Chain A
């Protein structure tokens, strides 16, 4: 059986991409396998771990449960699109300063989630950070440092 593909136009980190994809291709697989944007990680591939967190129209979502075709016409931001002119995003810098990771596999998802968490106004206390970062699992257990990094970045933005 010949595979049917459809044209999919994606706007990622301000760049336009034209792809031919099978309809079942997720945004996660399109990013990693077709566009070489491997900063977004595949953890569980079932929406349970948060490693594949990206932003669509400024909101954090899971790339593993989003069809690439559904993201057409939306502005997609991945971890590769956070830094500006070689300067780390303040949340990236805070993760480095607070030593907020060990193996690093969940880190891009944690950072993408944290950027949105702060922007949503859900980083007002450690308790609120823990609740609104709960969709990002860290099997190394770096949670206390992740909370510290999010707190630090949130305070920098508020200052």
Chain B
């Protein structure tokens, strides 16, 4: 790992100012950044450590929803009694991510800045072509081993999969982030790769995520995160779904439905076509399975990742039907 200088921020403002300088990066839990620095992917000149800032780890939750400080640890949010009862999909997405040790280190704000696990992106020593790392250098994944790559939201420049779980649940429930004075929907924070896969987030130098806001809703209260993977634990999703469901008073007609996919796209993927197809309909397996197919509309595979196009709709359908049984 290349050396860098270390600066411990004493306030949010000094952190923002220091991180706005060329070559500087914010350091929170470090679970992505230190790893990528060891891989030679991240080459910061200065790391601005924000983990000693006070008051940014609060978790506030009520009828209106939840506000979670950017420095709250994944494990603390996952185990929070009110998050579990009022926003179960958020808790489930968190405890099924990474390992207990990583969840004790990684922060909510840092989690949203997590980078792709594309093995070509992570290995500059062996693969010089990567448009995300080096704009214009090409893509080593296209034509390579693609089992873990995206089938939705890809471009000719990049097919790297967004690996996070939390953000998938956040976009399903219209969560927003606080960037100082500015508020931004999490869905708008993540950018499609297009012709500029190096630009992943709609965040400017000098901006810092300070909190996440999740609106309360009946669908968020009755929600789940279903994650399917190659091994049972400590693994990224082969396909996952964050789903929330609200039924009419008759107990069978769908009033509100939220669906987002993980493990299959270049960003957290809200599946509004599935939501629209099922709202107002009676919750029954045939209709749910048919509508869930719409979650992969427009999907493009690169050979070995074709299975995701079959798997994702099944994961969506299973999650919706599971919620339907918990009336």
Contacts and interface: CB of A to CB of B under 8 A. Distances in A.
Contacts of A24: 1-4, 37
A89 interface: no
Interface string A30-47: 000000000000000111
Q: Which of B3, B8, B39 has the most CB of A within 10 A?
A: B3
A23 B233 contact: no
Contact of A69 (B31, B49, B232): B49
B100 interface: yes
A65 B37 CA distance: 10
Interface stretch (A91-99, A130-138, A144-152): A130-138
Nearest to A69: B6
Contacts of B35: 46-47, 65
B254 interface: no
Contacts of A131: 232-233
A108 interface: no
Q: Which of A22, A65, A122, A134 has the most CB of B within 10 A?
A: A65
Nearest to A45: B38
A122 B100 contact: yes
A60 B6 contact: no
**Chain B: number of interface residues, binned into ranges:** 20 to 34
Interface in A1-47: 3-4, 6, 22-24, 26, 45-47
Contacts of B52: 73
Contact of B34 (A50, A67, A130): A67
B102 interface: yes
B223 to A, nearest CB: 20
A4 B4 CA distance: 9
**Chain A: number of interface residues, binned into ranges:** 20 to 34
B184 interface: no
A116 to B, nearest CB: 7
Contacts of B99: 50, 134-136
B101 A134 contact: no
A60 B104 contact: yes
A111 interface: no
Nearest to A65: B34
Contacts of A23: 3-6, 47
Interface in A41-84: 45-47, 50, 53, 59-62, 65-67, 69-70, 73
A70 B3 contact: no
Nearest to B39: A46
Contact of A3 (B3, B31, B105, B232): B3
B30 interface: yes
A117 interface: yes
Given A46-B35, A61-B104, A69-B6, 18 more contacts: A24-B3, A24-B4, A47-B35, A47-B101, A47-B102, A50-B99, A50-B101, A53-B101, A60-B104, A66-B34, A67-B30, A70-B30, A113-B100, A134-B99, A134-B232, A134-B234, A135-B101, A135-B102
Interface of B: 1-6, 8, 27, 29-31, 34-35, 37-39, 47, 49, 51-52, 75, 79, 98-102, 104-105, 232-234
20 contacts: A6-B6, A24-B2, A59-B104, A60-B101, A62-B31, A65-B29, A65-B30, A65-B105, A67-B6, A67-B30, A67-B34, A69-B49, A70-B49, A117-B100, A120-B100, A133-B100, A134-B232, A134-B234, A135-B100, A135-B101
